[in-house]
Chain A
Amino acid sequence: MPTFVYMTRCDGCGQCVDICPSDIMHIDKTLRRAYNIEPNMCWECYSCVKACPHHAIDVRGYADFAPLGHSVRVHRDEEKGTIAWRIKFRNGKTDMELLAPITTKPWGEGIPQLSSEAAPSKDMVDSELLFNEPKYVRMDEGGLHTLESNGLTLKEGVYY
């Protein structure tokens, strides 16, 4: 379900407006606080929730993982490299905390410098491979990366 903003916590800094991939977080014309202008178009990517420096944005989670009336809150801690979640059921008794590593690259790294790349040859343009393949899928390091090639095994349950 879509995001919503606690108006008393928002300071109207515009970080959510900046990060929203759907461009649906906007600043209210009367109160100068952020709000979701088109909840139907929100795909719950949680970008704004994690980006908000005041934890002023929340998402009502779907009823398929917690009965309605619950609270799902998240804190992305770049310094520690973790994302912490807390899911609390409406009865207050089921209160779960989860901690997961940030699996993306550090913010601002990994931006392709396309202007410094050489222009593709005709062969490359005609080829079925996309830009920088196979380098970007890491096939040139000896085949696809698999659990096995990385010395890992499949475990039961949800994990990283």
Chain B
Amino acid sequence: MFNTNPFSELTALISPEVMQGYIILMAILVFLGTVLDMMHKKSAKYFFENAEKAKKDAKRSVGTGEKAGIAVATLANEVLTSGEFCNMKRRLSHLLTMYGFIIFVVATALMIFGVDTSSGTLPMLWHIGAVMLCLGGYWFWFFIRVDVAAEGTKWYHLVRADIFIVSLFTTATFALIWSYLQSSGSGAVADMGWTTLFFAFFIVSNTTLFASVLWSKFAHMFFKPAAAMQKRIAKADGSNLNLPSDFDLTDPAVQARFPDIPEYMGKNPADMGPGIRRESPNHY
């Protein structure tokens, strides 16, 4: 199962051109959905207005070299390793889902566009991607999802925010079931049996995933890195989203400016513990 390209057997029913057309259609739907989403939420307008406002509040200008450094740091931290998550479980689940999705989508496209799969690497990657998606997706769905963890909502309670995650893990699950049925001799897609049913489920969830960008949070993969980068620039140029400065309590100038601190807390105030991060938020 893991070393066979599930799409090669499918060519008996659906021609490779139709499959390639479907992939291109999905890419167009993602593009259109993202543009419509941006226009509807006015997120790009808000983002640039906010960036302009932060620039006005800047205490120093950030050079091109420094900006490139910030872009690299954003890529390494927020984009590639999901560093924005404070909760390690959420971060791991996001990494599994993100890399699973990328591996799965890229392997699908390469297999359908006729890259040689005789070595078995691409089909293997396709299956690994789907398994990673399932692991991250179901972990998030049953245990980490804030509605369940903090709001006390039951796992089977569906809301619009779930379009993305549900269509993600159902796509991966149905893909795996379809691939298993096809390779275990339960019949090909053309036989109109169980294999056909799960292939149809796979296509329905996949189409929902890529066609619902306007209503789902699919577009976050484009705007989140931009927002993370803007946040870092705001910190570097001193505007810092109007947040207070990071004071060094051992600095005599700070001690003179805020005499209450050394007077009542001593020169080195006590560490007050991990604060809110001491426990995960699940006391609903």
Contact with B along A7-29 (1 / 0, CB 8 A): 01101111101110000001111
B151 → chain A closest CB, angstroms: 5
B73 → chain A closest CB, angstroms: 17
Q: Chain A interface secondary structure, helix, strand, loop or mixed?
A: loop
Residue of A nearest to B215 (CB): A30
A64 → chain B closest CB, angstroms: 20
Is B244 in contact with A85, judged by CB distance below 8 angstroms? yes
Contact with B along A44-83 (1 / 0, CB 8 A): 0000001101110000000000000001011110111110
Q: Does B261 contact A (CB under 8 A)?
A: yes
Across the interface, which residues of B come within 8 angstroms of A12, CB to CB? 146
How many positions in chain A have a CB within 8 Å of any CB in the partner chain? 50
Q: Does A159 contact B (CB under 8 A)?
A: yes
Q: Does B221 contact A (CB under 8 A)?
A: no
A58 → chain B closest CB, angstroms: 9
Q: How far is it, in angstroms, between the C-alpha of A28 and the C-alpha of B159 when the chains are bound?
A: 10
Q: Does B154 contact A (CB under 8 A)?
A: no
B66 → chain A closest CB, angstroms: 22
Is A13 in contact with B87, judged by CB distance below 8 angstroms? yes
Q: How far is it, in angstroms, between the C-alpha of A8 and the C-alpha of B229 when the chains are bound?
A: 13
Q: How far is it, in angstroms, between the C-alpha of A74 and the C-alpha of B243 when the chains are bound?
A: 7
Q: Does A144 contact B (CB under 8 A)?
A: no
The CB with the most chain A CB atoms within 10 A, among B147, B150, B265, is that of B150
Q: Does B277 contact A (CB under 8 A)?
A: yes
Q: In chain B, residues 74-92, which have Cβ atoms closer than 8 Å to a Cβ of chain A?
A: 84-87, 90
Residues of chain B at the chain A interface (Cβ within 8 Å): 43, 46-47, 56-57, 84-87, 90, 145-147, 149-151, 159-161, 217, 223, 227, 231, 241-245, 247, 249, 254, 257-258, 260-261, 264-265, 269-278, 281-284
